[in-house]
Chains A and B, each alone.
Chain A
Amino acid sequence: MSIIATLIGQMITFGLLVWFTMKFVWPPLMQALEERKKKIADGLAAGEKGKQSLELADKKAKVYMKEAKEQAAEIVNLAQKRANDLAEEKREAAKQEGERIILQARSEIDREIQQAKEELRQQVAALAVSAAEQILRKEVDINKHKEIVNNLGNQLGQA
């Protein structure tokens, strides 16, 4: 149990081990660790960013939704109004058409009544003339009373 040259040998071994570790073991391991640390940090940052943009998109979507709802309501309102207007117009047109038809029918009726009256009058006149003729043929000289009968006929025609 004494300090001997073994100590020097051990120091050399120790020195070689430390040198080797410093040169070939430590740097690549530390580099890998650093890189992984960076990767994880990047990943976390990206995750945070994604979360933020998701929130932003959510907000945007809500705004769009609201706008769309408003627009839809407006369109429905407009359509309803337009439908009401159209119905009103149609009703108005139908009413006018009806009135026109009634008016036409009425004038037709008037015209036919007039025609019938005219025909009736001519028939009565002809009947009266033929009756008078039959009477007069027995009692009156045609030539003598011709003027009177004509006058009568004229009067009847004027009535």
Chain B
Amino acid sequence: MASEVHEATGPTAYIVHHLTDLKVGEGFWTFNLDTLFFSALLGLIFILFFKKAADSATSDVPGPLQNFVEMIVEFVDTQVKDSFHGRNELIAPLALTIFCWVFLMNAMDLLPVDLLPGIAALVGIPYLRVVPTTDLNETFAMSISVFFLIIYYSIKVKGPIGFAKEMLLTPFGPWMIPFNLLLKLVEELAKPISLGLRLFGNMYAGELIFILIALLPWWVQPALSFPWAVFHILIITLQAFIFMVLTIVYLSLAHEDH
């Protein structure tokens, strides 16, 4: 059990234990089963919840479920319409998926740090990280997917030649082609890296603080973990929102002709 490990090997081991994934495989072909499982589970909860609302959606007086879902959908739709002015059937559902999925994965942060790993230990699972967004693989999976979409739409909207021109000739004109290309490459690559690292960093740090609080004597813990959790309600929503808005902004930039 987690607490036994903690008592046996000290606080550092406790922290390391909590930040170790449940792994299968070797080298590159390693799968973090906990990340895959929880993200898929939360994604399933998200789509089933929204599918239920979408199936029973009426234009008459909406029920509480539809009201709630419509609130989120309209919120996302407003964000998309504010930043993105083209016509693209993918962007709004993409933004909705990112917002809800990231929010749900972040929200796992609010569960007590020992709850699910403790239960898992009881049934013989040695390691378990319950917050998928504290795994770089998860955040980069999303940001790299978004990066691919940026490249795809840049080429689709501007054409291969237009895209090449933009990469080579801006911002300093034809005499600075190598420098332009370098600048553009950094600019484009910075997008997925910053997008993925921002979410990962915030959630990882937040989870680490929760683990550190869990190391304190039990009578101090509520005084610290409660305000931190309340603060984290803001953080998880904000990070989901930031990821969504930046995705919309990057894709709208990809649609703009210079």
A10 engages B31 (CB within 8 Å)? no
Pick out which of these stretches binds chain A: B34-42, B168-176, B211-219. Answer: B34-42
In the complex, the chain A residue whose C-beta lies closest to that of B46 is A17
CB under 8 Å from chain A, chain B span 106-164? 132, 135-138, 140-142, 144-145
- Tell me the B residues contacting A by CB distance below 8 Å: 19, 25, 27-32, 35-36, 39-40, 43, 46-47, 50-51, 53-55, 57-60, 62, 66, 69-70, 73-74, 77, 89-90, 92-94, 96-97, 101, 132, 135-138, 140-142, 144-145
Asked if A30 contacts B77 (CB within 8 A), the reply is yes
Using a CB-CB cutoff of 8 Å, which residues 1-18 of chain A contact chain B? 1-11, 13-18
Instruction: Say whether chain B's binding surface is mostly helix, strand, loop, or mixed.
Output: helix
Q: Which residue of A lies closest to B54 (CB)?
A: A28
Judge whether A33 is part of the interface by a CB distance below 8 angstroms: yes
Write out the residue numbers on chain A whose beta carbons fall within 8 Å of the beta carbon of B97. Answer: 14, 17-18, 21
The docked-state distance in angstroms from the alpha carbon of A26 to that of B94 is 10
Which 4 A-B residue pairings sit nearest by Cβ, starting from the closest? A10-B141, A35-B59, A32-B57, A22-B93
Partner of B31 from A1, A9, A17, A22 at Cβ < 8 Å: A9
A159 is an interface residue with CB less than 8 A from chain B = no
Does A36 touch B at the CB level, under 8 Å? yes
Pick from A4, A24, A36: contact of B28, CB below 8 A: A4
Check if A20 is an interface residue, CB within 8 A of chain B: yes
Interface contact B74-A33, CB-CB below 8 Å? yes
Jot down 6 A-B pairs with beta carbons below 8 A, ordered by A: A6-B31, A21-B50, A24-B51, A25-B51, A26-B73, A29-B54
Interface check A39, CB cutoff 8 A:
yes
Q: Decide if the interface of chain A is mainly helix, strand, loop or mixed.
A: helix
Taking CB as reference atom, which chain B residue is nearest A16? B43
Instruction: Please classify how large the interface on chain A is, using the bins under 10, 10 to 19, 20 to 34, 35 or more.
Output: 20 to 34
Task: Report yes or no: A5 in contact with B30, Cβ–Cβ below 8 A.
Answer: yes
Interface residues of A (CB under 8 A from B): 1-11, 13-18, 20-22, 24-33, 35-36, 38-39
A40 shortest CB reach to chain B, Å: 9
A10, B58: Cβ atoms closer than 8 Å? no
Residues of A within 8 A of B140 (CB): 3, 7
A1–B53 Cα gap in the complex (Å)?
38
Question: Which B residue sits closest to A34, measured CB to CB?
Answer: B59
A4-B30, A5-B29, A11-B145 as given contacts; A25 in contact with B137, CB under 8 Å: no
The answer to whether B135 and A25 touch across the interface, beta carbons within 8 angstroms, is no
A20 touching B47, Cβ below 8 Å: yes
Residues of chain A within 8 A (CB-CB) of B137 are 3-4, 6-7, 10
Report Cα–Cα, A16/B57, bound state, in Å: 22
Task: Give Cα A13 to B142, complex, Å.
Answer: 10
In the complex, are the beta carbons of A11 and B59 less than 8 A apart? no
Known: A1-B19, A10-B141, A26-B73. 13 other contacts (CB 8 A): A3-B136, A3-B137, A4-B25, A5-B31, A10-B142, A14-B142, A17-B43, A17-B101, A26-B96, A28-B54, A29-B50, A29-B54, A32-B58
